[in-house]
Structure 1
Amino acid sequence: MSFESPYLLAGLLAVPLVLLFGLWRTRPQVCAVPSLRIWGRLAERNPPVRELRRPAFHASLILQAVAAAFLVVGLAGPYARVPSARPRALFLLLDDSASLAARDGTGRTRWDLAREAVRDLVAQADAGDRIVLATGHSGSGPGRRYDGPPSGVQAHLDSLVPSGCGEEAVVRAARLLAAECGTGPGRMLRVVSDHAAPDVAAAVKPAGGRIRTVGEAVRNTGIVAFSGEPAATGRLDVFLSCLGPAGGEAEVELSDSPDGTSWRRLEVLRIPLDRRGEGALVRGIEPGADSRLLRARLTAPDALEADDIARLVRVDEGAQAVCHVARPGPLVKALQSIPGLRVEIRTAAPGRPVPFRSGPRLQVFDGVVPERLPEGAWVVLSNPPAPVGPFEVEEDGPAAVEAWRMAPPLTDHVDLPAIAVRRAKRCRLADGFGGAVRVILESRDRGPLLAWWDRAGGGVVYVGFDLAWRGDPGADATAWSRDPGFPIFWKNVADAALGGAPPSGGWMGHRTCAPAGRWGAEVGARRAREGGGAFDGSVPAGPSGVAAHVPGVVYVEGAGGRVPSAAFNLFDATETACPSGGGAEGDRLPPATEEFRPRSLAGVCAAAAGILLAAAWGLAARSR
């Protein structure tokens, strides 16, 4: 037992005074008097003699002394340290990238297996433990992070769907969670994923975290490039590139549609795959006169549906860019610095495609960008002329846009996490090459974001993250094209960047890697003339040795509903393997440790003193 104010224990010295007052008694004098008259005056002349006498057993006196001692001890603030179970903290990072939608041999998706692994870990926790559950997409939307008791984890898991975030987002979330977790007692950090990424493992290592892998190795076939070019009147040359099992065959169904709701089957293409699992095909087709959309879809189901569908959209006026306005910020000022920029403000219902040719036009600003753009509206940017010179805007705060997307609508999913700029650090415009100008948006958490503005053709021909750009904007502008990790999304991008212009009335599709096939050879020849090196027409690998999938184009169209686009999720389109060596070993929560918490005893002392005083007064009254 300890005391908050031990110096007050000096008050215990008052207890002997209580005893002294109790033992100080009056002893009367014995006097013989001859008459009653004198006896009546005796008390005035001879007062009683007070002296200390031998103490006698007096229960009331003892109780009063003990009560006084309890009061003094209570004033000193006594407390005792009692053992108590220390609440534990379990930090979980759930990988919600698009590869989690892959199905294994049992028919279950890796997403289901990952959520089951999270439930197993949470089941070890007690009611008083803290559970922190985050996803790779936690920083891009509310409600993606859970922090509370174990009882609420199940409901939160049921509300989550794979966001399609990339590995960079998972690494960033792992670093933030590791910094929050630390290495204190009773704390554990686990990442639940379908593969043990080295960067994620390095991010959680300072906090003692590990990766728990789920799923088994699967084989997958996917569409990696789909584009079209007008040929004869009413005809279209379609280019398709696929990846899959070596020596196999990819069967692709081509359909067209005037509005994207009803589809008309045109042709079924069979693309042979070589020993590397790559295959490409150019075929001339004749879509309907009213067709606005073309769809390429693999006919055979496989492990991952996210790369089984790609689309082409007819372009009437060249390339455009669409941005979703969240709040005014640096980007608005950057757009205001571009003379002659035409801005159309439109709206779109939540969960519906971006309005490209249809939908109400709220306002049109030709050459002047307003100070404030309506929050939640979709803004179409077109006809940006060549800027007078480079500009740079330095400002902290939220960015003006939530997401950039190429028009026309290529997916119904509105939120593209891989190209969402939440906290823009700065915006600047730098001169590019071949008649193109690049706009660089530097985000604190997502790296540089590039937009290529085509001077010759008029319009934004590319918007996306530059995974390979790591230098000064004035450096060699062809460096991005030589890095195999930099994906080129559009054939029009390559043409515009090398001096061409996107054709009016053409078809715009998607390309997940560097150009391949017929256009790959053409671009390679141009690049060689420009001094950028030869290009062999092959599909290069991404930064981690796998193919990079395009955001905003591929999406799941299966029985489980729509899953967000792949959005720069890097995974092997041929074989998504689940390496061994994660498992459940070592995933036991640390035992609950005891800690000693102070518990005040002042109330006990006060109650005891009150009881003793009441007893003492009762005995004193009874003895009279």
Structure 2
Amino acid sequence: MRFFTPWGLLGLLAVPAIIFMYLLKQKYKETKVPSLYLWKKAIPESKAQEPWQKLRKNILMFLQIAAAAVLAFALGSPYIMGKTQVVDYVLALDCSISMQARDVAESRFVAAKKDMLRLVDEAAPETTFSFVLLGEEPSLVLSGTQEKQEILRCIQDTQVTDGGVAWDKAKEILEAERDVLGGQIVVFTDDYGSMGDLPVEEQVYNKGGNNSALSLLSYSEQEDGLSVLTRLENWGVGGEEKTVTLYVDNAVFDTKSFLLERGESKDVTFRGVPKDANSIMVRLFPEDDLMTDNMRYVGVSSSSSERVLLVTENNMFLEKALSLIDNVELYKASPEKMTGISGYGLYIFDGCLPEKMPDDGFILLLNPPENAYVTMGEKKNITATARMLDNTGLADISTISFEVSKARALNANWGKPLIRSGGDSLAVFGEYQGKKTAVFGFDLHDSDLPLNAGFPILFYRLMEWYFPDGEGALTQHQAGETISFSLRPETEKAWVITPQGGKMVVAPPFPSLPYTQTSKTGFYSLVEEDGSGTQTTQIFGINPKTEGESDLTLKGEQKTVEGGQAKTVHAGKSMRNLLLLLLCAILIIEWRVNCREH
């Protein structure tokens, strides 16, 4: 016999303590009585109480000693070695927003964690576990561990998010881990069928909660102020009055109420919001089984113009295209006057470069001479049609194609291609030493791009990339998304302040680090500081995912799956439960004997 917790055997010290108690002399006091007749009858009993006498046979003492010994052995968790069948587990926990629903006691997430902790705690020794968190970015937390305490701690520390689950990626991780571990996949979630044809055991927590949600929030500038639009969707009980309250800079601005049937949606508009507002929030009342999707947040971006300097001999095409962009304040200079320039958000050099590049601002180079930004090939004739690439992230430009007569192929390890002709990159863009930079390897006059209907669209989207505004501005994102910040060219330090008051530095280094701590909704702030210590703050909202999450009704059908393949291992078979049953039996007998004697 072996012991998992040998320190429990310290309980055997109770055995001599019990014996010592039976040997102790009981204290007494003198008392006057009218007769000794009856007291003589009690002499044999009093003899039994004399100290340090030889122990008599006392069944109660033996039962108490047995109970103490059995309890000590049970605390030691004894086991005997033997062969046993063990199933390994790949455990997956759904951390999406719908798991916060309170149609299950406490919440779906809390109930799932409790059952997962119980499964691990009751699993046989030598059971191997892997643990996967299911979220917008599913992750393998533990792989192939037999340390129960480690996986119990990981499960206990797991927090629910306000986002969704990337089920396709989750399926790939679970399938790969099952192939390595060879065990049973157990998914703790709130719907059936999320894993498709992958054989998994689904532990589902769903009682069809009552829920309504705000699924959209946006604003637009009007003559009388900002117009705010939100959308109310009802997946719960029909005929209930729903109230939407608008908050501007954390103060109540307006309230509207509606009656919605189940499955019905309603667009709600608020007008006259001050243009100088910094933040807008909408909230839905009354509360329901899922409260997180009752609120949405958006920051209000500034609409100031950006100063752009175009240095060119005479490029009327480019000048005309840039002058049509609303938030661009265009300035023009000749190459002879480009020394010592500063104070602009973007510098465009067409066919020229200054001896010293500006310290501030972003850079756009058109047909430049040799430079430190890119490696340039020899100028050559181009026969293949030049095309915009599909995966640039710039909207509405992938269909643009044009002809160019001469160009130089570009190579830049800091950027990605924007325009290709055959196998050559004719334009690249990205961040060079912390500054947004784009380089074109051809003269616009050597192409028919300026005559193409997509020419103004291309430069409009480029200006949006340099200076995000409107849809591209940092105003709101979905929980779980990774955010890449577009910092000002003069920024030397930048950090994010969370709704809880936490602070995370995102720059330096440059380019800024992607921000991934977006699992919780609320207002966040991006703070940028330049060399003089001047700070600018942009508020943005992180909003809950509602699509596929706010409808709390049970989806899919339960499927029967075969259990995971068991393995035979030499493991300890615990005897603790058997000893605890024996202890209960001894205590019952001791109680019965004690009742009879008294």
TM-score with structure 1 length normalisation?
0.42
More strand by share: 2
Largest Rg, 1 or 2: 1
TM-score with structure 2 length normalisation?
0.43
